[in-house]
């Protein structure tokens, strides 16, 4: 254990992009609706891969590494749609995943929101063409509140996207 | 026994031809004139998924096989023979209102119960279904089902030129993007009738991709045993590796980087700094993690795959090498010249796969460092006169041996078959279960770290 603590002290604080903390605390003050206020201090996300290449998932996993340390902002990924406020959807929405995606959304308690991530969920930006195996455009089947673009978006872009989503909550 | 590499079907004029590829015997073809074809499952159990895919692709029945369930044709998907030329990739299909139930392979008996997991799992992970037969905590059998991410990629590639495929094949399986691109690039070189010359830029990028993947795994494996500190430490190494990939290719995954001049010779200093840092960090990590007995309690003797089983199921990559097989597509004079040494372990358990990854990380760093001295200007291929024919390419991705088969006709893709290493290795996962309890499953699964997207295509 001594090895570990020595290393911890040597490493110091690794978290980057500390400006996000400020953005969030201003947001918490400025947001008016009570739901938005609560979400801005605790947002639970359930990620569903509807047919991606796993790069978006890899970047979402990277969000919890010490450089990005997403959980400090009160945003965390949860294990069940029943614990979630946000359904984060990646991938092209395949024929075989489509019913399960709708299922996951139906299992979430209200108020609930859908955020799409990556270029795949939008037909215009997806590298995949329309095909028999792809249902496509998530926004046609679920009420998408926000989209985080990029192929894949970098962890920092994802954090910025999530904060933007929180900002927009007051308007909706 | 001759290792089975792949089995698939393709249309020749109006008939269907089954193509079987072995390591020694090479490509074997037989025309099918009946409604069915003869299964190889009794001698090569790993042919099961290939044959199930042939069934879905062309509507042929599997004769004398013990597993003839559909693969990517799920309950509500109508019976379509998607790979036949008469079927259009863009056609719309209606969801069937009379779903065909999927028959899971289960063990029944007094007190034995079933646990279904997935397709959506309790983490940030790809979709797949795991069906356990349980006697209390003890796993009796695991039935794995895939196809949730089936995007029809092979069909999508048909009728396209080789150059048009790079953006798509970059994004089949994010963990193996560079390997996919190199495999495609090698097909391109063959179709241009060029000699395949080992390319240092490609080799360095491939090793960097392996570093990203292995570093992620050496964090996630202990994390699944409840040791989160290792994930924090190893995820830093994975992040550093992704960042150096971004510095080199402008993509943290190396998307669309092969075949382009990334001017590696001007970025030697950045790479050298990265390697020096990684060398000391991985050494620290190893010294530290080897000293945690409670972790090794979980890793040792968990999820054993014997060499005999690994051989019987034609496994490849990390899984095969951790069980003692000498199997690595990099095992060539070119790589050995740059310090490559085939790494393997004998025990075939989670611990062996974990240690093997650490060894491979160290070896990859050494290879990159040695190659770096020799990197010169990148030669872009300008020619576009492709010759029709059949071509095969192999690349050792971070998971294992990736294989691609290409048939080019009139300059465009007539058939592209991709055999992801995961497609073979998924089929052996259930053999690692019966001595363990269900709580060990995530640990065993992560130690193999197979791609769902690559298996489904």
Q: Which residues of A touch B171 (CB under 8 A)?
A: 53, 55, 127, 151
Q: Which residues of A touch B175 (CB under 8 A)?
A: 54, 58
**pLDDT tens, position by position, B137-161:** 999 999 999 999 999 899 999 989 8
Contact B171 A62 (CB under 8 A): no
Contact assessment for residue B228 and residue B244, using Cβ atoms and an 8 Å cutoff: no
**pLDDT tens, position by position, B122-140:** 888 899 999 999 999 999 9
Q: Which residues of A touch B288 (CB under 8 A)?
A: 3-4, 7
Contact assessment for residue B32 and residue B81, using Cβ atoms and an 8 Å cutoff: no
Q: At what angle do helices B177-191 and B200-224 cross, to 10 degrees?
A: 150
Structural domains for chain B: 1-101 (no CATH), 104-145 (no CATH), 153-456 (1.10.645.10)
Q: Which two tokens stand for residue A14?
A: 């690794």
Task: Give me the half-sphere count of Cα atoms (radius 13 Å) on the Cβ side of residue B442.
Answer: 15
Which ipTM was obtained for this model?
0.88
Contact A152 B253 (CB under 8 A): yes
**pLDDT tens, position by position, B226-237:** 898 999 999 999
Domain A44-168 has CATH 1.10.357.10: no
Contact A132 B90 (CB under 8 A): yes
* DSSP-derived secondary structure letter, B96: P
From the list B111, B94, B205, B90, the residue with the least C-alpha distance to B156 is B90
Ramachandran class of A91: left when φ > 0, alpha when ψ lies in -120 to 50, beta otherwise: left
Q: Which residue of B has its CA nearest to A56?
A: B174
Contact A96 B236 (CB under 8 A): no
Interface list for A 97-156 with B (CB within 8 A): 97, 99-100, 104, 127-134, 151-152, 154
Number of Cβ within 10 Å of residue A99's Cβ equals: 16
* Separation CA B400–CA B175 (nearest Å): 12
Query: What are the CA-CA distances from residue B48 to residues B296, B403, B418 (Å)?
Result: 35, 18, 16
Q: Which residues are paired to B421 by β-bridges?
A: none
Q: Which residues of B touch A158 (CB under 8 A)?
A: none
Note whether B172 contacts A: Cβ–Cβ < 8 A: yes
pLDDT band at residue B81 using 50, 70 and 90 as cut-offs: confident
What pLDDT is attached to residue B310? 93
Given the DSSP bridges, would you call strands B138-145 and B129-135 parallel, antiparallel or unpaired? Answer: antiparallel
DSSP B303-362: S---HHHHHHTT--HHHHHHTT----TT-SHHHHHTT------SS-SHHHHHHHHHHHHH
Radius of gyration of chain B (CA): 22
**pLDDT tens, position by position, B327-347:** 999 999 999 999 999 999 999
Residue position matching structure tokens 């004769």: B63
Q: What does residue B391 show for φ and ψ, rounded to 5 degrees?
A: -135, 150
* Separation CA B361–CA A62 (nearest Å): 19
What pLDDT is attached to residue A172? 58
What pLDDT is attached to residue B291? 87
* Separation CA A142–CA B87 (nearest Å): 30
DSSP B97-147: SS-----------TT-EEEEE-SS-SSS----EEEEEEETTEEEEEEEE--
Q: What does residue A38 show for φ and ψ, rounded to 5 degrees?
A: -70, -40
Domain limits, chain A: 44-168
Contact assessment for residue A118 and residue A153, using Cβ atoms and an 8 Å cutoff: yes
pLDDT at B445 > cutoff 80 = yes
Number of Cβ within 10 Å of residue B190's Cβ equals: 20
Give the one of A7, A67, A94 whose C-beta lies nearest to B149's C-beta.
A94
pLDDT at B422 > cutoff 70 = yes
Task: Give me the half-sphere count of Cα atoms (radius 13 Å) on the Cβ side of residue A161.
Answer: 22
Contact assessment for residue A44 and residue A84, using Cβ atoms and an 8 Å cutoff: yes
Q: CA B201 from chain center: how many Å? A: 22
What pLDDT is attached to residue B275? 93
* Separation CA A156–CA A63 (nearest Å): 8
**pLDDT tens, position by position, B15-51:** 889 999 999 988 999 988 888 888 999 999 999 999 9
Closest approach of A32 to chain B, Cα-based (Å)? 32
Given the DSSP bridges, would you call strands B61-63 and B36-38 parallel, antiparallel or unpaired? Answer: parallel
Give counts: helices (H), strands (E), chain B: 15, 11
**pLDDT tens, position by position, A89-125:** 999 999 999 999 999 999 999 889 999 999 988 888 8
- Average predicted confidence (pLDDT) for chain B: 91
């Amino acid at each position: 254990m001594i090895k570990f603590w020595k290393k911890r002290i040597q490493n110091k604080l690794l978290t980057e992009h500390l400006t996000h903390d400020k953005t969030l605390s201003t947001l918490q003050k400025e947001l008016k609706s009570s739901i938005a206020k609560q979400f801005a201090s605790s947002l639970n996300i359930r990620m569903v891969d509807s047919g991606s290449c796993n790069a978006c998932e890899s970047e979402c996993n990277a969000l919890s590494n010490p450089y990005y340390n997403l959980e400090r902002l009160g945003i965390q990924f949860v294990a069940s749609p029943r614990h979630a406020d946000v359904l984060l959807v990646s991938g092209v929405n395949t024929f075989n995943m489509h019913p399960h995606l709708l299922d996951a959304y139906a299992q979430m308690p209200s108020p609930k929101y859908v955020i799409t991530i990556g270029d795949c969920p939008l037909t215009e930006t997806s590298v995949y063409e329309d095909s028999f195996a792809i249902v496509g455009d998530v926004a046609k089947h679920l009420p998408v509140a926000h989209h985080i673009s990029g192929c894949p978006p970098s962890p920092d872009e994802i954090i910025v996207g999530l904060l933007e989503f929180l900002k927009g909550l007051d308007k909706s | 026994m001759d290792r089975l590499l792949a089995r698939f079907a393709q249309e020749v004029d109006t008939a269907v031809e089954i193509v079987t590829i072995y390591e020694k015997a090479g490509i074997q073809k037989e025309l099918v004139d009946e409604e069915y074809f003869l299964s190889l499952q009794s001698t090569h159990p790993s042919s099961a998924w290939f044959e199930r895919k042939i069934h879905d692709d062309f509507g042929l029945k599997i004769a004398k096989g013990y597993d003839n369930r559909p693969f990517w044709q799920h309950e509500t998907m109508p019976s379509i023979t998607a790979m036949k030329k008469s079927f259009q990739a863009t056609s719309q299909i209606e969801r069937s209102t009379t779903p065909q139930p999927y028959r899971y392979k289960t063990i029944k008996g007094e007190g034995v119960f079933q646990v279904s997991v997935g397709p959506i799992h309790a983490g940030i992970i790809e979709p797949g279904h795991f069906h356990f037969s349980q006697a209390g905590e003890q796993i009796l059998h695991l039935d794995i089902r895939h196809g949730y991410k089936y995007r029809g990629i092979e069909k999508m590639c048909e009728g396209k030129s080789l150059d048009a495929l790079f953006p798509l094949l970059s994004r089949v399986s994010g963990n193996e993007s560079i390997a996919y691109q190199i495999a495609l690039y090698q097909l391109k070189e063959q179709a241009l009738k060029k000699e395949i010359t080992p390319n240092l830029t490609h080799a360095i990028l491939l090793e960097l991709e392996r570093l990203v993947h292995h570093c992620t795994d050496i964090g996630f494996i202990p994390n699944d045993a409840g040791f989160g500190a290792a994930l924090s430490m190893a995820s830093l190494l994975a992040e550093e590796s992704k960042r150096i990939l971004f510095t080199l290719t402008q993509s943290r995954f190396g998307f669309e980087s092969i075949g382009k001049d990334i001017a590696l010779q001007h970025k030697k200093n950045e790479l050298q700094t990265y390697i020096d840092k990684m060398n000391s960090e991985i050494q620290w990590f190893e010294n530290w993690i080897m000293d945690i007995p409670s972790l090794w309690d979980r890793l040792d003797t968990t999820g054993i795959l014997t060499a005999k089983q690994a051989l019987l199921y034609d496994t490849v990559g990390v899984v095969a090498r951790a069980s003692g097989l000498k199997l690595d597509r990099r095992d060539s004079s070119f790589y050995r010249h740059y310090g490559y040494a085939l790494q393997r372990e004998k025990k075939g358990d989670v611990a062996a796969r974990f240690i093997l990854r650490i060894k491979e990380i160290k070896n990859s760093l050494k290879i990159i460092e040695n190659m770096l001295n020799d990197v010169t200007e990148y030669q872009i291929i300008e020619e576009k006169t492709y010759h029709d024919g059949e071509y095969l390419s192999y690349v050792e991705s971070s998971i294992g041996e990736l294989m691609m088969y290409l048939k080019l006709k009139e300059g465009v893709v007539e058939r592209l078959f991709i055999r992801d290493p995961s497609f073979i290795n998924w089929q052996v996962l259930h053999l690692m279960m019966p001595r363990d309890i269900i709580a060990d499953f995530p640990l065993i699964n992560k130690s193999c770290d197979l791609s769902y997207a690559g298996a489904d295509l």
